[in-house]
Chains A and B, each alone.
Chain A
Amino acid sequence: MAETRSRTTAQGPDANTSRPARPDAGGAAATAGGSAGATQKITIAKALNLGLRAAMERDPKVLLLGEDIGKLGGVFRITDGLQKDFGEQRVMDTPLAESGIIGTAIGLAIRGYRPVCEIQFDGFIFPGFDQIVSQLAKLHFRTQGRVKVPVVIRVPFGGGIGAVEHHSESPESYFAHTAGLKVVACGNPVDAYWMIQQAIASDDPILFFEPKRRYQEKAELDTSATPGPLHASRVLQEGSDATVVCYGPMVRTCTDAVRVAAEDGHRLELIDLRSLSPLDLAPVFESVRRTGRLIVVSEAPGESSIAAEIASQVQQECFYSLEAPVLRVTGFDTPYPPAKLEEEFLPDLDRVLDAVERSLRW
Chain B
Amino acid sequence: MSSPEYWTKPWPSSSADIPPPSESAPAAVAARPTAEQVIAGLRATSEGGPDLVQLLTPEGERVTHPHFDLDIPPEGLRDLYRDMVLVRRADRECNALQRQGQLGIWVPLLGQEAAQIGAGRAMRPADMAFPSYREHGVAWCRGIDPTELLGIFRGTDHGTWDPLEKRFHPYTIVIGNQVLNATGYAMGQRLDGKVGDGQQDDAEATIVFFGDGATSQGDVNEAFVWGAVYDAPVVFFCQNNQWAISEPMERQSRIPLYQRANGFGFPGIRVDGNDVLATLAVTRWALEECRSGNGPILIEAFTYRMDAHTTSDDPTRYRLSDELEAWKLKDPIERVRVHLVRSQFADAEFFAQVDAESDALAERLRAYCVDMPTPPPERIFSQVYAEGSPPLDRQRDEFLTYLSDFDHSGGAH
- Residues of A contacting B170 with CB < 8 Å? 139, 142-143, 147
Within the complex, what minimum Cβ distance (angstroms) separates A275 from chain B? 10
- Candidates A107, A139, A144, A231; contact of B185 at CB < 8 Å: A107
- Residues of B contacting A140 with CB < 8 Å? 383-386
| B100-134 contact mask (Cβ, 8 Å, vs A): 1 or 0 | 00000000000000000000000000000000000
Within the complex, what minimum Cβ distance (angstroms) separates A67 from chain B? 13
| B158-202 contact mask (Cβ, 8 Å, vs A): 1 or 0 | 111011110001101010010111111111110110000000000
- Residues of A contacting B179 with CB < 8 Å? 103
In this complex, the member of A89, A105, A142 whose beta carbon has the largest number of chain B beta carbons within 10 angstroms is A142
A95 contacts B384, C-beta separation under 8 Å: no
B183 contacts A135, C-beta separation under 8 Å: no
Q: How far is A17 from B138 in the complex, measured between Cα atoms in Å?
A: 60
- Candidates B157, B183, B192; contact of A104 at CB < 8 Å: B183
A99 contacts B189, C-beta separation under 8 Å: no
- Residues of A contacting B162 with CB < 8 Å? 143, 146
Q: A97-B222, A130-B174, A147-B163 are in contact. Are A202 and B183 (CB under 8 A)?
A: no
- Residues of A contacting B68 with CB < 8 Å? none
Task: Report if A322 contacts B (CB, 8 A).
Answer: no
Task: Report if B390 contacts A (CB, 8 A).
Answer: yes
Binds B, one of A46-54, A108-116, A208-216: A108-116
Task: Report if B219 contacts A (CB, 8 A).
Answer: yes
B384 contacts A147, C-beta separation under 8 Å: no
| B379-403 contact mask (Cβ, 8 Å, vs A): 1 or 0 | 0001111110111100000000000
- Residues of A contacting B360 with CB < 8 Å? none
Task: Report if A293 contacts B (CB, 8 A).
Answer: no
Within the complex, what minimum Cβ distance (angstroms) separates B160 from chain A? 8
- Residues of B contacting A145 with CB < 8 Å? 382-383, 386
- Residues of B contacting A95 with CB < 8 Å? 222, 225-226, 229
Q: How far is A100 from B180 in the complex, measured between Cα atoms in Å?
A: 6
Within the complex, what minimum Cβ distance (angstroms) separates A114 from chain B? 11
Q: A100-B222, A108-B187, A142-B158 are in contact. Are A279 and B391 (CB under 8 A)?
A: yes
In this complex, the member of A95, A99, A140 whose beta carbon has the largest number of chain B beta carbons within 10 angstroms is A99
Q: A99-B222, A103-B223, A142-B158 are in contact. Are A131 and B184 (CB under 8 A)?
A: no
Q: A100-B225, A144-B382 are in contact. Are A278 and B391 (CB under 8 A)?
A: yes
Task: Report if A45 contacts B (CB, 8 A).
Answer: no
A111 contacts B159, C-beta separation under 8 Å: no
- Residues of B contacting A115 with CB < 8 Å? 184
A111 contacts B386, C-beta separation under 8 Å: no
Q: How far is A89 from B190 in the complex, measured between Cα atoms in Å?
A: 10
In the complex, how many residues of chain A place their beta carbon closer than 8 angstroms to a beta carbon of chain B? Answer: 47
Task: Report if B218 contacts A (CB, 8 A).
Answer: yes
B219 contacts A103, C-beta separation under 8 Å: yes
B383 contacts A141, C-beta separation under 8 Å: yes
B385 contacts A204, C-beta separation under 8 Å: yes
- Residues of A contacting B218 with CB < 8 Å? 97, 99, 127
Task: Report if A334 contacts B (CB, 8 A).
Answer: no
- Residues of A contacting B159 with CB < 8 Å? 142-143
Within the complex, what minimum Cβ distance (angstroms) separates A147 from chain B? 6
Within the complex, what minimum Cβ distance (angstroms) separates B383 from chain A? 4
Task: Report if A323 contacts B (CB, 8 A).
Answer: no
Q: How far is A198 from B163 in the complex, measured between Cα atoms in Å?
A: 27
Within the complex, what minimum Cβ distance (angstroms) separates B284 from chain A? 23
- Residues of A contacting B229 with CB < 8 Å? 95
Q: How far is A196 from B218 in the complex, measured between Cα atoms in Å?
A: 30
Q: How far is A137 from B385 in the complex, measured between Cα atoms in Å?
A: 9
Q: A95-B222, A113-B191, A131-B180 are in contact. Are A107 and B383 (CB under 8 A)?
A: no
Q: A97-B225, A100-B222, A147-B163 are in contact. Are A107 and B188 (CB under 8 A)?
A: yes
- Residues of B contacting A144 with CB < 8 Å? 157, 160, 382-383
Within the complex, what minimum Cβ distance (angstroms) separates A301 from chain B? 23
Q: How far is A115 from B229 in the complex, measured between Cα atoms in Å?
A: 18
Task: Report if A180 contacts B (CB, 8 A).
Answer: yes
Task: Report if A203 contacts B (CB, 8 A).
Answer: yes
Q: In the complex, which residue of chain A has the Cβ closest to the Cβ of B178?
A: A135
- Residues of B contacting A105 with CB < 8 Å? 184
A134 contacts B389, C-beta separation under 8 Å: no
What is A's interface to B at a CB cutoff of 8 Å? 63, 89, 94-95, 97, 99-100, 103-113, 115, 127, 130-131, 134-135, 139-148, 150, 179-180, 182, 202-204, 231, 277-281
Interface pairs (8), CB distance under 8 Å: A100-B219, A103-B183, A108-B191, A113-B191, A131-B219, A145-B386, A278-B390, A280-B390
What is B's interface to A at a CB cutoff of 8 Å? 157-160, 162-165, 169-170, 172, 174, 177, 179-189, 191-192, 218-219, 222-223, 225-226, 229, 382-387, 389-392
The 8 A-B residue pairs whose C-beta atoms are closest, nearest first, are A107-B184, A103-B180, A111-B188, A104-B184, A203-B386, A107-B185, A100-B222, A145-B383
